[in-house]
Amino acid sequence: MTVEHGSSLDGVETTPSDEMAPPIASQGSGSANGLATIKRGIRRCLASWRSIVATVVVVTAMGVSASLFFILYRPDQQVGDAAAHRAIQAASDGAVAVLSYDPDNLDRDIAKAKSYLTGDFLAYYTKFSEQIAAIALQKRVTETAKVVRAAVSELHSDSAVVLVFINQTATSREKPEPQTTASIAQVTLTKVKGSWLISKLDPLA
């Protein structure tokens, strides 16, 4: 498009210089000269119109694709299958991290869990984790969580709700035989700097 644009400009500039050469010969008729000027003007207009139209078409096309990208494609991508998969992964990994700990690695386990959390739930967990740690140490409680099934309930560009079915297995000094309980977590995620973090974790069972 740019090449065409340049060449048509050249055309405009060369045409007058070509017609400038014979004016002495046709100097006699003033009306002919006037007609030539009008013709030249029209031609120049046509030439520049062509480039204006071309430019408008290109700019409009770019504008339309850009708006499609920002209005349709990007939001769609943010709620598409890949985004859903990432939300499920974050909710599952985060819920497992929050519900799993072993008394010999409490600091590591709690730090790991915190890395999946944000906002009020991070504050709540930070406070609550001290109590968990105290009990886990005292009674030698080991908790291991495993995700059975998980799926998306709601998915928006910056928030999501994931339903997670979890099996929790606990052992302690008093009850060394592993005890498994079935639980359900409704996990609310918030997008922080492009990645999903848990902002709420509601146990349903």
Residues in contact with another protein by the rule CB under 8 A: 65, 68-69, 72-73, 76, 79-80, 148-153, 161-163, 165, 182, 184, 186, 204-205
Least distance in angstroms from the C-beta of 182 to another protein? 6
> What single-letter amino acid sits at 88?
I
Least distance in angstroms from the C-beta of 204 to another protein? 5
Which of 81/177 has CB closer to another protein?
81
Displacement of CA 108 from its chain's centroid (Å): 31
Cα 96 to Cα 119: distance, rounded to the nearest angstrom: 19
Which of 192/204 has CB closer to another protein?
204
Cα 62 to Cα 34: distance, rounded to the nearest angstrom: 41
Which of 47/185 has CB closer to another protein?
185
Which of 79/133 has CB closer to another protein?
79
Residue with tokens 């499609």: 68
Least distance in angstroms from the C-beta of 88 to another protein? 9
Least distance in angstroms from the C-beta of 101 to another protein? 23
Expressed in angstroms, the distance from the first to the final Cα of the chain is: 64
Which of 42/72 has CB closer to another protein?
72
Least distance in angstroms from the C-beta of 128 to another protein? 22
